[in-house]
Amino acid sequence: MGSLKTMSGGLLLGLCLTLLGWGAEGQWNGRPKKEISGSGPINLGQQQRGTWWPLMQTRENLTEVKSIKSMFQFRTFDPEGVVFYGDTREGEDWFVLILRNGIPEMQIGKADILVSVQGGPKLNDGKWHLVEISSQGDFVVLEVDGQKGLVVGLKSKETVEVLTGQIRLALGGILVSLDKLLIPFQPEMDGCIQKGNWLNLSTPWETEMIGEPWPCYQNIQPGSYFPGAGLAAFNTTDLPGHQTEESGITIDIHGDSTKMEGTVLSLKTSGQELPTVTVKINNDPKKVILTILKRDTVTEQSFSRLSLTLLKNQVNMDIDDTHLTFEIDNIPDFPRSWKEGMILAFGGLPGDGVSYSSIQYLKGCLEKIQVQGQDVDLDRALYKDLSISSHSCPSEV
Ligand SMILES: *[C@@H]1O[C@H](CO)[C@@H](O)[C@H](O)[C@H]1NC(C)=O
Ligand SMILES: *[C@@H]1O[C@H](CO)[C@@H](O)[C@H](O)[C@H]1NC(C)=O
Ligand SMILES: *[C@@H]1O[C@H](CO)[C@@H](O)[C@H](O)[C@H]1NC(C)=O
C-alpha cells in the first residue's frame, strides 16, 4: 500500500491532498519544523498515511551519549506498524522496532549484515507496556515489562565500533530507504508512547506534524474512531467477496448506535453521482436511515450490530433482530459491481466534497467492521482521513 495508491484514491474522491507535500526519503519537505518533547505523550496515529518519514526525530553527537538504553511506555490495539528507529553513520548502521501480528520485530542493518527477528509477547492488547531497548556491545536487547523479549547478536569482520559522528532516533517512521528493509511492513501505527527516555538525552526532538500534538486518550477500546471530520474509502476489489454470487456480499458493523451520529457507510458505483446505498444514524430521536438510490427507509431503532447484505436486485438489512428486505429493479447487480470495483466508504459519503456537507461525517466508534465475516483494516484503505483512528476508540471506563 504505497503512497501512490493513496494519492489516486484521494484524487478520485476529490478530497484535499496533504500527502503531496511529502518528499522522498531523507528530505524535509519544507514544512516548518517544530520542537517537541521526547518524553510524550506521543500519538503515533498522527502520522500521515502512506509515508515512511518519521513523525518526529532527534540527533545527538555520539560523544554526548552516555547511556545505552532507551525506554518508553507503549500502548496499542494495532497489529502492525513502525514504532522506533535508530541509526548511526547517517543510516549506514540502523535498527527498527515494529509490530507484526502484534508481536515485536526488530530489523537491523549493520555493515554487511541484515537481520530480522520476531518474538516476545503480543503487545497490541490496549494496555501500557514498558519497552526497553539497549545496545550492549555486539548485542541489541529488547525487554518488555522487565522481561527479556529479544536478544540479537551481530558480528562481522566489517563491523566497526562507531564512537564519533551522530546517532539519530525516530518515532513512527524510518530514516533509511525502504529497499534496505529485510521484510517490508505497513508503517501506519495507531499507538501511543509516553514517559520516553531516549539514551538519557535531553535534546529536543523535531517534528513536522501539522497542528498541535494529539493527546493520547486516557482509556481506549478496540474499534475505529471517527471524530466527525472525514471518511475512509475502499475500492471493493481490495475487499473480500469475489467468489460469492448467490449468497451476496455482507457488511457488518458493530457498535453502540446511540453513541453515533452521521453516515456509517455508503456505497457508490463509479460514474454515478449519488451513492447507491447509504446508512446513516440519527439520534434525535434515534433512527437508522437506509437510502437506496434516492429512497429513504427510516427505522426508529438503535442497534449494537447492523448487517447489510447486497444481492442482485436486493438489499437486506438486519438491525439486531429486525430483518428488512428491499427488492428494487433498477439497482445494480451488486455482486457483479462489487467485483468490478465500487467505492465503499465508512464514516461519510464519497463525493466531490462540495455537494455533501461535513455534518454527514460520522462521529462515533465502529467497534468492528467486517466484510464477508473478515475484519476490515482501515490502514489498508484507498483513502483514510487523518482524523480517523483505525484501531482504537476513546472509552469512558
Ligand atoms: C556536535 O559536534 C559538532 C562537531 O563535531 C559540533 O560542532 C556540535 O556543536 C556538536 N553538537 C553538540 C550538541 O554537542
Ligand atoms: C541521566 O541524566 C541525569 C541528568 O541529566 C543524570 O543525573 C543521570 O546520572 C543520568 N543517568 C545515566 C544512566 O546516565
Ligand atoms: C477499483 O479497482 C479496479 C481494479 O483494480 C479498477 O478497475 C477500478 O477502476 C477501481 N475503481 C475505482 C473507482 O477506483
Note the pLDDT tens digit of each residue in 338-349.
Answer: 999 999 999 998
Domain boundary among 213, 247, 279: 213
Query: pLDDT tens-digit profile of 18-30?
Result: 333 333 333 445 6
Q: pLDDT tens digits, residue range 215-261?
A: 899 999 999 999 999 999 999 999 998 776 678 999 999 999 999 99
55 in the same domain as 196? yes
Residues 207 and 229 in one domain: no
pLDDT band at 31 (very low <50, low <70, confident <90, very high): low
Residue 257 lies in a domain: yes
Ligand 2 contact via 64 beta carbon (within 6 Å): no
Residue 292 falls inside a structural domain: yes
Are 290 and 338 members of one domain? Answer: yes
**Does 363 share its domain with 241?**
yes
Q: Is 63 in the pocket of ligand 1 (CB under 6 A)?
A: no
Range of the domain at 293: 224-394
Q: What is the structure's pLDDT at 333?
A: 86
pLDDT interval class at 350 (50, 70, 90): confident
The per-residue pLDDT for range 79-138, each reduced to its tens digit, is: 999 999 999 989 999 999 999 999 999 999 988 889 999 999 999 999 999 999 998 888
Is the CB–ligand 1 distance for residue 64 below 6 Å?
Answer: yes
- Select from 67, 57, 69, 60 the least CA-distant residue to 88: 60
Report which ligand 3 atom has the smallest distance to the Cα of 343. Answer: 13
7, pLDDT greater than 50: no
- Give a yes or no: residue 48 inside a domain: yes
Indicate which residue's Cα is closest to atom 7 of ligand 1.
Answer: 61
Please choose, from the candidates 7, 163, 39, 187, the residue with its C-alpha nearest in 3D space to the C-alpha of residue 89: 163
The verdict on 243 and 162 lying in the same domain is: no
Residue with cell 497490541: 124
Asked whether residue 164 falls in the same domain as residue 233, the answer is: no
CA 212 from chain center: how many Å?
Answer: 19
Q: What is the dihedral of CA 341, 391, 226, 13, to 10 degrees?
A: -30
257 shares its domain with 357:
yes
User: What is the distance between the alpha carbons of residues 153 and 139, in angstroms, rounded to a whole number?
Assistant: 4
Is residue 236 assigned to a domain? yes
Point out the domain boundary residue: 213, 237, 263: 213
62 lies in the same domain as 177: yes
Q: Ligand 2 in contact with 61 (CB < 6 A)?
A: no
Q: Which atom of ligand 2 is nearest to the CA of 202?
A: 5
Long-range contacts of 320-325 (CB under 8 A, 24+ apart): 324/290, 324/297, 324/299
Name the closest-CA residue to atom 6, ligand 3: 341
Q: Last residue of some domain: 159, 182, 213?
A: 213
302 in a structural domain: yes
CA of 58 to the centre of ligand 2 (A): 18
Determine if the peptide bond prior to 104 is cis (ω within 30°).
no
The pLDDT value given to residue 14: 34
With CA atoms as reference, report the closest residue to 86 among 100, 70, 63.
70
Tell me what percent of the residues of the chain surpass a pLDDT of 70. Answer: 88
Between 14-18, 183-187, 204-208, 221-225, the lowest mean confidence (pLDDT) is in 14-18
* Residue 6 covered by a domain: no
User: What does the block give as the cell for 155?
Assistant: 558480528
Which atom, in ligand 3's list, is nearest to the CA of 9?
14
Ligand 3, pocket-test mutation among 267, 336, 340, 343, most atoms within 8 A of CB: 340
Burial 286-318 (b: 16+ CB within 10 A, else e): eebebbbeeeeeebeebbeebbbbbbeeebbbb
Nearest CA to ligand 2 atom 9: 200
Q: Is residue 12 part of a domain?
A: no
pLDDT at residue 5 tops 60: no
Check pocket membership of 322 for ligand 2, CB cut-off 6 A: no
Q: What is the pTM of this model?
A: 0.85
Chain position carrying cell 526497553: 132
Residues 197, 71, single domain; the answer is yes
Q: Judge if 161 and 253 occupy the same domain.
A: no
Residue 69 alpha carbon to ligand 2 centre in Å:
11
Is 24 within the bounds of a domain?
no
Note whether 195 and 244 are same-domain residues.
no
What is the total count of domains within the chain? Answer: 2
Q: What is the domain-level CATH number for residue 93?
A: 2.60.120.200
Q: Are residues 184 and 254 in the same domain?
A: no
- pLDDT surpasses 50 at 354: no
Pocket of ligand 3 (CB under 6 A): 12, 235, 237, 270, 341, 343
CB 192 within 8 A of CB 44: yes
Q: Which ligand is nearest to the CA of 202?
A: 2
